[in-house]
Amino acid sequence: MTNPPFSKTLFIGSMAFLYAAQVYSAVPGPWDPSNDPKWFNNREFNSLNLEYHLDHLPLEGQMKDHIAWSDSYWPSNTGGIAFRWNDPKAAQYTDTRITDADSVQLRESLGFTYHLYTKQEAKALTYDQLKVLSPAEKYDIFKGDFSYPTVKHERAKTNTGMDYWFGICDGWTPAALNHAEPAPINVKDANGNVENPVYSKDGILIPFGSADVKAMINHYYNRTHENSPSAYWAKKRFHIADAALMGTECHTDITKMADPWSVAECADANAGAFHITMTNQLGRYGRGFGIDVDAGVEIWNQPVFAYKSVAIGEQGPSPGAAPGTEREVIFNTDLYYADDTYKGKAYWDPMVGTDNFQYDVVKYQYRVELDHSGAIIGGEWMHRDLSADLGWLDQIDRTSEKFKALNDYEKPPLRHDIEVRHNRPDQLWIQRVANFSEGFNGYYGDIYKIYRPAQPGPIDYHQVKPATVTEREDYEEYMRTGN
């Protein structure tokens, strides 16, 4: 068995993430032990025959079995998966520009203070009343556990005052990579009939939307990252905490630094190792991977499902190149990843293959260093000219009253901050697939009963606007109309 170079977990706010037990300096040129692509060649759950020779590595690729899906990141300031996202009142928060300050009471009522039904009360609920319950409520009722452990777990670790970006993207990322998008179940047709109904332990017919099932799968993976006694035993019992990780976590606000890459932990992942991992994992094997797309202190885990690379130049060895480098090739790479939704908006139906599917593209430039045989032995990140994509940020009047009225997460960032934070990924990772089936024990053992993969139509993600384009259009429309 090949063990990844880490063995602990760290809980950061409500966004947990695996971190390296051994920390190495990250320098340009050759990769250090924490950036070695071999960590993705885990014989137990991700066996790869890694190819290092550039000429044998595809210039583009995408996931084969399914496309990583969009979802809510289940924000902690709404109650996580205890949020009643399908209640009509939820749209007052997710579908408007209402500020967090003005929505505290609304978010409390939908995530933290609603009544938890007894068995008798739940049995008396109508189909439509059951439909608007939170994912956590539905699963606890489905299990027949009216002590509501999932709801109480969420309420204990979340509150309305938490930062807007806290959530369970570390659970959503492996869920979207490891499992095809779920379909809704127990849905009534035009005649009021349900095909192949699935009843709860107590005979209750609970309608689960796609987002409800996603939430439970996300929650399962998120629990494997938590640093708590109950999570520790969950890991021991289910044996799924194994993961492969490349790179080290950045704890520094690099946007305030004259030389952002002078801090070793923020300078990786190594560009050559990144190209090897991306082109093998996606290009040769059709498997996605997780990425912390923010090179700085914030953690934005996203599931990567496609890439396209273009070689734009070749040159001799640069200063600091890996020993043995004979030539370097410069690449522009577009990396496609599924995006989480604005304010954590959730959807009843699957999103992949529809206009609701949200993805984004991060654009990198780097050079890979090759030895005499054409094998990649190192690399370095470069600065890609993104003026065509980001130039509009320089035109914003940040002193205007309209701009000040926006929520912090609606205010377009400074161009400099984006160019620094998205210059390179912070970490790349994958996690063992959870085999949700009849033999899957523990509290999550009934997920297999409610999980049915959706069957989307042909997918061409190029036909859907990336989230950054939509955000720009939304902002410009707001500045014109105030809506």
pLDDT greater than 70 at residue 454: yes
Structure tokens at 196: 């192949």
Kindly state whether residues 105 and 138 are assigned to the same domain: yes
Q: Is 50 in the same domain as 185?
A: no
Lowest mean pLDDT among 19-23, 162-166, 258-262, 420-424: 19-23
Q: What is the DSSP string of 165-192?
A: T-S-HHHHHHHHHHSPPBPPBS-B-TTS
Burial of 187 (0-12, 13-18, 19+ CB in 10 A): middle
Asked whether residue 279 is domain-assigned, the answer is: yes
- Predicted confidence at residue 395, as pLDDT, reads 80
Question: With b meaning 16 or more CB within 10 Å and e meaning fewer, what string describes 424-457?
Answer: bbbbbbbbbebebeeebeebbebbebbbbebebe
Residues paired with residue 376 on neighbouring β-strands, in sequence order: 370
Residues 441/448, Cβ–Cβ less than 8 Å: no
Mean pLDDT of 251-274: 84
What pLDDT score does 27 carry?
46
Q: What's the pLDDT tens digit per position in 205-228?
A: 999 999 999 999 999 998 876 655
Is position 361 within any domain? yes
Looking at 236-298, which runs of residues are DSSP E strands? 243-246, 289-292
Region 468-474 average pLDDT: 72
Asked if the model's pLDDT at residue 45 lies above 90, the reply is no
Q: Which domain holds residue 149?
A: 76-238+437-455
Q: Across residues 425-429, what is the average pLDDT?
A: 88
Looking up tokens 């996690």, which residue turns up?
A: 431
Q: Is the pLDDT at 20 greater than 50, yes or no?
A: no
Q: Is residue 467 part of a domain?
A: no
Count Cβ atoms below 10 Å from residue 405 Cβ, excluding itself. 13
337 and 272 in one domain? yes
Q: Are 295 and 354 in the same domain?
A: yes
Specify the pLDDT at position 303: 96
Asked if 444 and 350 sit in the same domain, the reply is no
Q: What is the mean pLDDT of residues 164-175?
A: 91
**How confident is the prediction for the chain on average, in pLDDT?**
84
Do 92 and 231 sit in the same domain of this protein? yes
- Are 71 and 218 a contacting pair, CB within 8 Å? yes
Half-sphere exposure (Cβ direction) of 464: Cα atoms closer than 13 Å: 22
Mean pLDDT value across residues 257-271: 82
Give the per-residue pLDDT at 39.
Answer: 82
Q: Is the pLDDT of residue 358 over 70?
A: yes
CA distance 130 to 79: 18
Q: Is residue 480 part of a domain?
A: no
For residue range 70-97, what is the model confidence (pLDDT) as tens digits?
999 999 999 999 999 999 999 999 888 8
pLDDT band at 406 (very low <50, low <70, confident <90, very high): confident
Helices 135-143 + 210-223 axis angle, to 10? 80
Q: Which of 44-58, 102-116, 340-354 has the lowest mean pLDDT?
A: 44-58
- Beta-strand relationship, 427-431 and 243-246: antiparallel
Q: Is residue 262 situated within a structural domain?
A: yes
Tell me, what DSSP letter sits at residue 283?
Answer: I
460-470 confidence digits (pLDDT tens): 666 667 777 77
Q: Is 328 helix (H, G, I), strand (E, B) or coil?
A: strand
Residue 21 lies in a domain: no
Q: With bands split at pLDDT 50, 70 and 90, how would you rate the model's confidence at 478?
A: low
Quick check: is 478 in a domain?
Answer: no
Q: Does any domain span residue 25?
A: no
Residues 54 and 115 in one domain: no
Q: Within 10 A of 124 (CB to CB), how many other CB atoms are there? A: 11
196 and 321, same domain (yes or no): no
For residues 297 and 253, the answer to whether their CB atoms sit within 8 Å is yes
Selection from 152, 264, 222 nearest residue 434 by Cα: 222
Q: What is the pLDDT of residues 280-321, one digit of tens each?
A: 999 999 999 999 988 888 888 999 999 999 999 999 999 999
pLDDT confidence band for 456 (50 / 70 / 90) = low
Both 183 and 232 in one domain: the answer is yes
Across 316-440, the runs of DSSP E, i.e. the strands, are: 327-338, 359-370, 376-381, 427-431
Residue 110 is predicted with a pLDDT of 97
Does one domain contain both 190 and 159? yes
Q: Are residues 91 and 64 in the same domain?
A: no
- Look at residue 459 in the predicted model and tell me its pLDDT: 66
Mean pLDDT over 431-446 rounds to 84
**Residues 110 and 199 occupy one common structural domain:** yes
Determine the average pLDDT of the residues in 184-209.
96
Q: Structural domain tally of the chain?
A: 2
Of the candidates 248, 296, 279, 334, the residue with the CA atom closest to the CA atom of residue 419? 296
Q: What is the rounded CA–CA span in Å between residue 203 and residue 141?
A: 10
How much is the CA Rg of the chain, to the nearest whole Å? 23
Instruction: Report the share of the chain in percent with pLDDT over 90.
Output: 53
Between residues 87 and 267, the one the model is more confident about: 87
Task: Give which of 197, 47, 46, 206 is closest to 137, Cα–Cα.
Answer: 206
For residue 212, what is the DSSP state? Answer: H
